[in-house]
Amino acid sequence: MNAPAAALDLADIPERIQSEVQRAIQRSIKGVEYIASSGPALGSTPKDILHVRGTMNLYHYRPIADEIYRVPILIVMATTNRGYILDMVPGQSFIEFLLKRGYDVYMLDWTAPRPEEKSLRMEDYVLDFIPDCVRRVQQDSGETDVTVIGYCFGGVLSLLYGSIFNDGPMKNLICFTTPVDFREMKLFQNFSDRRYFDVDRLVDSVGNVPPEMILSSFDMLRPASRVVGQIQLWENIWNDEFVKSYRMFDRWATDTLPLAGEYFRTITKDLMWDNKLFNGTMSVGGRLADIAKIKVPILHAVAEHDHIVPYDAAKHLIQKVGSADKQEVMLKGGHVSLVAGANAIKRLWPKLDSWLCERST
């Protein structure tokens, strides 16, 4: 250590101690507040429920702009998680951003499948739920064309839908962190190793796959992160913004949905084991779903540090689709911070707007 640096440090010590003491006091006060209070209200952008059928919910967000683009957007949420990740709080809501930029936004969101919905199959999602929602969006908006945005497994469902219904009405497709090559989801591959994982036994015994199991499989990808998150929360509990953000993301991450048993069986066998989407042999309800048949303009946003869908699992999407107008963008961030939070506000959202606005008229 050199002398000037040491002198500077010594001069700073009383100020630093004072600051740390104040933070310690604030931690105690805020810690009590944290336990006593509920988190911020999430998903509060005004919306109308257009249709509910079992696990499927179709929302229409009320337009904000005086003039909107012709082509409405249908967001297809991942079946494992709730859609409010895209509508956190005002100022940090992707939905609100789209509305302000003049888009007409609909969302296909999911609730926990009921026990009797354990028999829902991939066909129900791809050949029934999504087409039904697209029809309702067309009817409600009065437009034939629809832009589809799929997040994570919502992207997979959108790809399957787009490859089967390749003659319309999907006008544009945007995928966020969507896996195509399931061999590259190494840890999930190992968790579901066909030599040891008896998916039939699991589904036959539990029906719907419990959310705890889904959550633990996500947590196992980064086993230390939840504990470290708690430590960081305690350190920063004096900081209201940090706490608000922590609570939003933590609530969403733990609000995992169960998966319909038959649907999970297909995911495991066709995608995890046989990698049919990558091989071009995937079929849904007897209809071939080859993503090479997708011809519409497509944007795929991937995250540089995605631990759930690693880049190797997502990178083939753009190569494999048949579209002439196609683009992949890799942005800084992880699987969730790509689409929500401060990182998304400055990176993904403006990028998406600049790509989509020209294709929405």
Partner 1 sequence: MADKSNDPVAMWQNMIGEMEKGFNSFANKAMESPEFSKVVNQVGGVTAGAQKQLGELMEKYLVSMNLPSRAQMDSMAERLQSIEGQLNEIKALLHQVHSNSAAPGGGYPAAPRPPRTRRPPSAGGEQK
Binding site for partner 1 (CB under 8 A): 1, 5, 8-9, 12-13, 16, 20, 48-54, 62-63, 65-70, 101-102, 104, 111, 114-116, 141, 143, 186-187, 190-191, 193, 195-198, 201-202, 205-206, 220-225, 228, 231-232, 235, 357-358, 360-361
Residue 160: CB minimum distance to partner 1, A? 26
* Cα 249 to Cα 263: distance, rounded to the nearest angstrom: 27
Q: Which is nearer to partner 1, 90 or 115 (CB)?
A: 115
Residue 322: CB minimum distance to partner 1, A? 25
Q: Which is nearer to partner 1, 159 or 356 (CB)?
A: 356
Residue 83: CB minimum distance to partner 1, A? 16
Q: Which is nearer to partner 1, 77 or 321 (CB)?
A: 77
Q: Give one word for 177, left, alpha or beta, with left for phi > 0 and alpha for psi -120 to 50.
A: left
Q: Which is nearer to partner 1, 328 or 353 (CB)?
A: 353
DSSP state of 47: E
* Cα 196 to Cα 253: distance, rounded to the nearest angstrom: 28
**Helix, strand, or coil (residue 187):** helix
Q: Which is nearer to partner 1, 259 or 282 (CB)?
A: 259
Residue 160, judged by CB atoms within 10 A of its CB (0-12, 13-18, 19+), counts as buried
Q: How many residues does the chain have?
A: 361
* Cα 84 to Cα 249: distance, rounded to the nearest angstrom: 10
Q: What is the helix (H) or strand (E) element at residue 228, kind and residue range?
A: helix 225-235
Residue 184: CB minimum distance to partner 1, A? 13
Q: Which is nearer to partner 1, 62 or 285 (CB)?
A: 62
Residue 131: CB minimum distance to partner 1, A? 18
Residue 206: CB minimum distance to partner 1, A? 6
* Cα 39 to Cα 246: distance, rounded to the nearest angstrom: 9
Residue 134: CB minimum distance to partner 1, A? 17
N-to-C CA span, the chain:
63
Q: Which is nearer to partner 1, 213 or 331 (CB)?
A: 213
Long-range contacts of 213-217 (CB under 8 A, 24+ apart): 214/80, 214/256, 214/257, 214/258, 214/259, 215/253, 215/254, 215/256, 217/188, 217/191
